[in-house]
């Protein structure tokens, strides 16, 4: 079906089904090939990319709406999903639906609640729906142009993610179950976009007590086999909820 027809058909349903004024946009991150990646979609009729999003049903909590939207796009749930900021400037979508009737649902003013998610690359099954032509991972080092204010939403998600690193653990869902210290440090360096001192990083991360040193090491390299670690999920989840102790 033609894109315009689909939108007009969906519009009637949307007015009945969703709460007005509110949308959700998701910055879904994953870690692959030593790079932080973000999930992008391309809507039919648009040249630029966008973040996957959706609306809040009238009988739905906003967190549940975010989980549903994420599941529709990636096939996964039970992943780390965090609301980070709400974007409400006037004219956020100006221009995008200018050729449509003013009664079109999508043409209304929307205030968008941003969520970010950290997902395991291997578990995600991307889903292209009938209003998009692409759904793909992009490295944050090589981003395409974004529609509307989606680049601003993504940048704010990244800033939040970086700031969260001072108070909260990260890595679960992004690293394999068993990983080496250099791999964990690399993840931090990529998110923070800077080199870290090895000794300081080790001291700090070990003090947070979220790692379990395994009784095995990574075989195969030319060097001494590096020790393997996994997250102590009990401590990890506690720190995720309550924050690290003793930052001040």
Smallest gap from residue 243 Cβ to a copy of itself (A): 6
Does 166 contact a copy of itself by CB under 8 A?
yes
What does the block give as tokens for 197?
């001192």
Please tell me the distance from the alpha carbon of residue 227 to that of residue 213, in angstroms, as a whole number: 7
Choosing from 97, 201, 202, 208, the residue that interacts with a copy of itself (CB under 8 A) is 201
Smallest gap from residue 62 Cβ to a copy of itself (A): 3
Q: Which is nearer to a copy of itself, 64 or 99 (CB)?
A: 64
Specify the 3-state DSSP secondary structure of 222.
Answer: coil
* Count of CB atoms situated within 10 Å of the CB of 135: 17
Does 59 contact a copy of itself by CB under 8 A?
yes
For 111, residues 6+ apart whose C-beta sits below 8 A from its C-beta are 21, 22, 23, 86, 87, 88
Positions in 133-162 near a copy of itself (CB under 8 A): 162
Smallest gap from residue 245 Cβ to a copy of itself (A): 10
* Contact in structure between 135 and 41 (CB atoms under 8 Å): yes
Question: Residue 49 has what DSSP assignment?
Answer: B
Choosing from 90, 95, 125, 130, the residue that interacts with a copy of itself (CB under 8 A) is 90
- Pairing status of strand 211-217 against strand 35-43: unpaired
Smallest gap from residue 95 Cβ to a copy of itself (A): 18
Choosing from 13, 128, 192, 214, the residue that interacts with a copy of itself (CB under 8 A) is 192
Positions in 27-46 near a copy of itself (CB under 8 A): none
Please tell me the distance from the alpha carbon of residue 54 to that of residue 57, in angstroms, as a whole number: 10
Choosing from 12, 58, 123, 198, the residue that interacts with a copy of itself (CB under 8 A) is 58
Please tell me the distance from the alpha carbon of residue 49 to that of residue 135, in angstroms, as a whole number: 9
Smallest gap from residue 94 Cβ to a copy of itself (A): 13
- Apex 38 CA angle, 97 and 165, nearest 5: 125
Applying CB under 8 A, the residues found at the interface with a copy of itself are 19-22, 56, 58-63, 83, 85-86, 88-90, 109, 111, 113, 162-163, 165-167, 188, 192, 196, 201, 204, 243, 247-248
């Amino acid at each position: 079906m033609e894109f315009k027809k689909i939108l007009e058909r969906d519009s009637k349903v949307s007015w009945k089904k969703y709460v007005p004024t509110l949308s959700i946009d998701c910055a879904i991150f994953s870690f692959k090939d030593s790079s932080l990646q973000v999930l992008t979609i391309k809507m039919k009729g648009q040249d630029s990319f966008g973040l996957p999003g959706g609306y809040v049903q009238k009988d739905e909590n906003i967190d549940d709406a975010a989980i549903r939207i994420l599941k529709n796009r990636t096939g996964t749930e039970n992943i780390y999903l965090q609301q980070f900021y709400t974007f409400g400037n006037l004219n956020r979508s100006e221009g995008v639906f200018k050729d449509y009737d003013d009664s079109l649902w999508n043409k209304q003013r929307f205030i968008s609640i941003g969520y970010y998610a950290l997902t395991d690359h291997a578990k995600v099954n991307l889903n292209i729906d009938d209003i998009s032509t692409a759904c793909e991972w992009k490295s944050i080092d090589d981003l395409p142009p974004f529609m509307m204010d989606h680049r601003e939403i993504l940048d704010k998600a990244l800033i939040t993610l970086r700031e969260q690193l001072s108070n909260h653990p990260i890595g679960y869902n992004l690293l394999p179950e068993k990983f080496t210290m250099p791999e964990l440090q690399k993840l931090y360096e990529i998110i923070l976009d800077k080199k870290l001192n090895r000794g300081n990083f080790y001291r700090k991360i070990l003090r947070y007590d979220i790692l379990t040193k395994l009784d095995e090491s990574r075989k195969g390299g030319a060097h001494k086999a590096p020790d393997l670690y996994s997250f102590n999920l009990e401590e990890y989840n506690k720190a995720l909820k309550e924050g690290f102790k003793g930052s001040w």
